[in-house]
Amino acid sequence: MTTQQLTIDLTAALQALYPAPEAAAITALVVENLLEISPLQRRMRAAEPVPTAVLARLPALQARLLAHEPVQYVLGTAHFAGLALEVSPATLIPRPETEELARLVETENAGRTGLHVLDVGTGSGCLAIALARALPGARVRAVDISGEALAVARRNAARYAPAVEFEELDILTQTTPAVAPASLDVLVSNPPYVRESERTRMRENVLSWEPATALFVPDNDPLVFYRRLAALGRELLRPGGGIYLEINEALGAETWALLESHGYAQVRVVADMFGRDRLIAAWV
């Protein structure tokens, strides 16, 4: 079997679950990972035979994909801010809007020295690691309730940003003793914000595989994490410090009002590349 035929066959199989463009994108990731080649090499080597050892791995991978398992979990890798990060079902798969959040923090804090950054709910460590690399000299700390997620984050940091510090805690009930009051310059978080009633709009590959505790909040209190983060920011951020959060696009006005009620200044909702209200930022 050639690389081209493998690509055609796997794409056709995945179209039972995904639209054709998405099936083709997933297939490209799998083929490039299996053959350890770039997208350009995949096209240039279309007529080359696929090694037998690679073909032997394909049925198990295809079965996992057809069981709705996200390709990032199947391959164990997700790309974020130019990095190939380890992911597992203990961590959310990093999304493009989270990468936009990292870029927003980087842009607004570029050139500042000696920054102290806290990432709440770090998951795979994507935000903390990206910011540690983008803001040279910054002290970056990351916390999460999941020890399994932190194990993944630590492995990612060991590869890309060894100075990032990690701590396991429940942010709703605990405050990290490693961060003194009024000592932070940046508080950043991608907290759970999907309302339980929004489950019906979500795909099986998210609902059955990604960690529910990192996704969902009750309909009767959808801003539970934002209320806690707002209070935490008022305690830990120094004057002039900024809070940066990913948000539910349907709750931009409510999240804006919450931050303003906690005394934050210059509160603004930021649209993502698709024009959706997905980020919010404010200053102490």
pLDDT score at 176: 85
pLDDT score at 283: 97
The domain covering 88-283 belongs, at the CATH homologous superfamily level, to Vaccinia Virus protein VP39 (3.40.50.150)
Report the pLDDT averaged over residues 150-159.
98
- pLDDT tens, residue by residue, 121-147: 999 999 999 999 999 999 999 999 999
Query: Which of helix, strand or coil describes residue 240?
Result: strand
- b/e per residue, 205-230, with b = 16+ CB within 10 A? bbeebbbeebbbbeeeebbebbbbbb
Show the CA angle centred on residue 110, arms to residues 106 and 140, nearest 5°.
Answer: 60
Strand order in the sheet with 139-144: 165-168, 139-144, 116-120, 184-189, 237-246, 277-283, 265-271
Query: Which of helix, strand or coil describes residue 6?
Result: helix
User: Hey, where are the domains in the chain?
Assistant: 3-67, 88-283
With beta carbons less than 8 A apart as the criterion, state whether 104 and 244 touch. Answer: yes
- pLDDT tens, residue by residue, 39-89: 999 999 999 999 999 999 999 999 999 999 999 999 999 999 999 999 999
Ordered DSSP codes for 57-116: HHHHHHHHHHTT--HHHHHTEEEETTEEEE--TTSPPP-HHHHHHHHHHHHHHTT--S-E
pLDDT score at 238: 97
- pLDDT tens, residue by residue, 171-217: 999 888 889 999 999 999 999 999 999 999 898 989 999 999 999 99
Global confidence as pTM: 0.94
Mean of the per-residue pLDDT values of the chain = 96
pLDDT score at 78: 96
Partner residues linked to 280 by β-bridges = 245, 269
**How far apart are the C-alpha atoms of 124 and 182, rounded to whole Å?**
27
In the block, residue with structure tokens 């701590």: 167
- pLDDT tens, residue by residue, 217-247: 999 999 999 999 999 999 999 999 999 999 9
Q: What is the 3-state composition of the chain as percent helix, strand, coil, each rounded to the nearest 5?
A: 45, 20, 35
Q: Is residue 193 packed enough to be buried (19+ CB in 10 Å), middle (13-18) or exposed (0-12)?
A: buried
pLDDT score at 178: 87
pLDDT score at 177: 85
- Is 36's pLDDT higher than 90? yes
Partner residues linked to 194 by β-bridges = 216
